[in-house]
Structures are given as C-alpha cells and as structure tokens.
Amino acid sequence: MEDCHKKILRRYRINIVTSLDPSSLYDRLLDKGIFTSDMIEKIKNSGTRRDQARQLARDLETRGSLAFPLFLECLEDSEHHSLAKLLQNGGLQVQDLKSNTLIHPLVRTRPLSPVLDLQQQLRTDLTGTLTLSPNSENFRVQDQARTRMQGRNRRDSLQLYKMDANPCGRCLIINNVDFKPQSDLSNRNGSNIDCDKLERRFKALNFLVEVKTNLKQRGIKHELSELSKKDHSSYDCCVVVILSHGTEVSHNRFPGAVYGVDGQYVPVQHITNYLNGKHCPSLQGKPKLFFIQACGGDERDSGCEVPSDEVEESSMGGADDQTDAIPSSSSSDSLSTSDEPDAGATLPTPSDILVSYSTFPGYVSWRDPQSGSWYIETLDRILEENAATDDLVTMLMMVNHEVSQNSAKGIYKQMPGSFNFLRKLLYFQSSTLGQNVS
C-alpha cells in the first residue's frame, strides 16, 4: 500500500473504529481479493466490533497498492458513505501536502456579456494571467487554500525536540496497588494490567523502564529524588508514570495529589519540581512527561446532554468499574523550601513539562478491575497505533476524545486533559512499533 494511503488510515483510525461495521464488509473484501478467507477469520476473532474494525484497518495497510481504493468501493457498497467520503477527502489532503503546491479549482468557461468581458480584461495583468475578482467564488476558494498552506507552513516551522538518543531516556513507573489498612484506602485491582501495558509500551519506544510497586509517601519522594540525581546528559527525554489513588489539593501550578500506600499524599506540583532545572540540570531544555492515573477529586461527572451525532459508541465502562477517588483536602504535603522551583533558571520554570491527567481536576477516574483503567488502556493503544505518524499532543487529544465517549454504570463520564508547557513538537521513536507494518 502507498505510504500516503497508510497515513490516511492512521489519521482516521478513530473514525474507522467508531463508525465501521466490519461484518457488512467481509464478503465484499473477500470478493475483491483484498483479504483471504483466513485473514477475514482472524479479524472476526479479534474481539468486539471495535476490535474487529481496528484489526481490519491494521491489516489493510499490509495489502497491495489497490487495497485502499477497493476498500473505499466496499465502504460505498455497504452504505458507509460518510466514512468513505472522509477517507477520500483525506487522500486529497495528503496529496496536497505531498506535492506542497496549491490545488487550484477547475474553472469552466462560459460565454460572457460584453460588460463582463471588459471587466475580465481589466482584471488581466500584463502577463496575461487572469486575476480573479475578490467577490468571486473562485477567489474565495483559492484564498482559503492559501490560508491553509500558510497554516501548514507555520506548523512546519515549529521545532522538534531531539528524540534520537539510544536509549531515548528513563521512564519511572510507580504502581500503587495494595494500600495499608490504616490508610482507609481500597486496593486498586486492575492497576497491574495498566502497569504491564505501559512498561511494554515505553520499552517499545526505546526507554529504560523502571517499575516501583506499593510505595509509601516517603518512598515516592525518594524515587523521584533518586531520578533527579541521575545523569540524563546522554538522553533526550524523561517520563514519570504514577498509578495510584488521588485527591484534590490546594495548588498554584499543577492540580491534584497522589497517595502513597500509607495514605499520605504528594502534590503533583511537587512531583514535577523534582525534575526542574534546579534539581535536575541534565534535563534542562529536554521534555519531561508525567502521566497521572489517579482521581483529581471525588466528584462524579454524569455528563450533559448533546446532539446524538456528538456521541459515539462506548468501548468501555461497566457496572463493576471502580474509581481512584479520595475526598478532597485543603491541606498540602510539605516540601522544604529547597524543593521550590529555581526562579533564576534560563528557561521559564514550567517549560518542557507536560502533565497528562486521567481526569479533569476535581473529578473521579474510572478503572475496570479486569482490564485496567480507561485512560491507560486508551493511551497505550493510541501510542501503539499512532506514534509512528503523530506528535504527543495530537495523540493525547485522541485519548481525550476516546475516553470522553465511555460511560461508567451507564451514567458517569470521564474527561482526561493535560497541562502542556512543551515548547516544541515531540515525536517518539517508533521503529519498534512499525516493524509489523509493511
């Protein structure tokens, strides 16, 4: 398959997964020779409708150069008209980017009145090139095309973080599952599933991964302090993942706090301070990424009514889902003044930091005891499917969108989000992820 067609399939993977009914395509895909019967059976056995749609899109990339246009025909034949149009229009966008030239609309000639003919001549420059009237439809179309090109040029001018070190950097995962009885906090069943997923994922992204389990408050601080003391000079990035119970606390930078298994918490803003310019000079100017799977408070979001076309089928959420919520607190875990950020740093204090939260500040975060948390499951899958083509911020927006479609107990919603202080685009190393894509 052509690279441009692969990019379209990856760019609109979410749309394919949420709207495609694979069962209506199987016979057509077989008749057109896109897949063999064995491949169709493999897709059917991959799981739910969404899982089958996801597997179909992946396998489609491995087929020949005619697979994409034939797939569009199958979509039209099975009345997936909107999806077919979306993918087809995506093809025009990719070709436009590939050629880096404006695609001018075809203007059909027609007889002109003498007055209009004179006006047209007056708008023709000395070289004989027709200059369109600002009031004409063709002028507006070309002007919109120029605006889009200028937007792409501005995005192209953004710098990229250097992410080619081998290994790329260190990744610390703190996985708190079993809480002490005196903490009055429940055990976090399903968290080990989250931990295993992200350990594999960041290893695949070429990080040195270290996992710490069931840490008390003091243990969390110790591991972060040890991480800040390491020499990161030969690395390009640093990642911290925390899977625990959480709560809402007073703050002046980053909201929320995470609990140790002893029931004592550490504010997120203090967690980020360990890796700032003052405490970890070898990470100055390098991206520092924090992924927090914990509740931001104890409030439950029952959602708000929206038009039906804004809501997509939920892939997760059941009656047994649990939260990582702890009642909010106005107190703050105290770090010494030496843990405060360096006001004289060369770069602004929050620069090159991104904190991705599983839920909106103040709200609960949902976790399935059997399959793990909504946020981590979705984050892992989005990284797997899109790290080869998309930057981190774009992928986190995909995570936000997918998680927002889920419902717990048929009622409650969840909205992830990020505090983004990155200065450049961040693309992970993805060679390992792309090995199975031909």
Q: Residue 24 and residue 349: Cα distance in Å, rounded?
A: 54
CA dihedral sign of residues 156, 160, 165, 168: negative
- Which strands, in side-by-side order, build the sheet including 207-213? 207-213, 169-175, 237-243, 288-293, 353-357, 417-421
Q: Specify the amino acid at residue 193.
A: I
Catalytic residue among 5, 80, 245, 270: 245
3-state secondary structure the chain: CCHHHHHHHHHCHHHHHHHCCHHHCHHHHHHCCCCCHHHHHHHHCCCCHHHHHHHHHHHHCCCCCCHHHHHHHHHHHCCCHHHHHHHHHHHHHHHHHHHCCCCCCCCCCCCCCHHHHHHHHHCECCCCCECCCCCCHHHHHHHHHHHHHHHHHHHHCCCECCCCCCCCEEEEEEECCCCCHHHCCCCCCCHHHHHHHHHHHHHHCCEEEEEEECCCHHHHHHHHHHHHHCCCCCCCEEEEEEECCEECCCCCCCCCEEECCCCCEEEHHHHHHCCCCCCCHHHCCCCEEEEEECCCCCECECCCCCCHHHCCCCCCCCCCCEECECCCCCCCCCCCHHHCCCCCCCCCCCCCEEEEECCCCCECCEEECCCEEHHHHHHHHHHHHHCCCCCHHHHHHHHHHHHHCCCECCCEECCCEEEEECCCECCCCCCCHHHHCC
- Residue 401 is among the residues annotated as catalytic for this protein: no
Catalytic residue among 74, 171, 195, 295: 295
Backbone Cα Rg of the chain:
26
Beta bridge partners of 124: 130
Q: How far is CA 277 from its chain centroid?
A: 27
- Residue 295 is among the residues annotated as catalytic for this protein: yes
Query: At 426, phi and psi to the nearest 5?
Result: -120, 115
Q: Residue 198 and residue 171: Cα distance in Å, rounded?
A: 10
- The residues carrying an active-site annotation are 245, 295
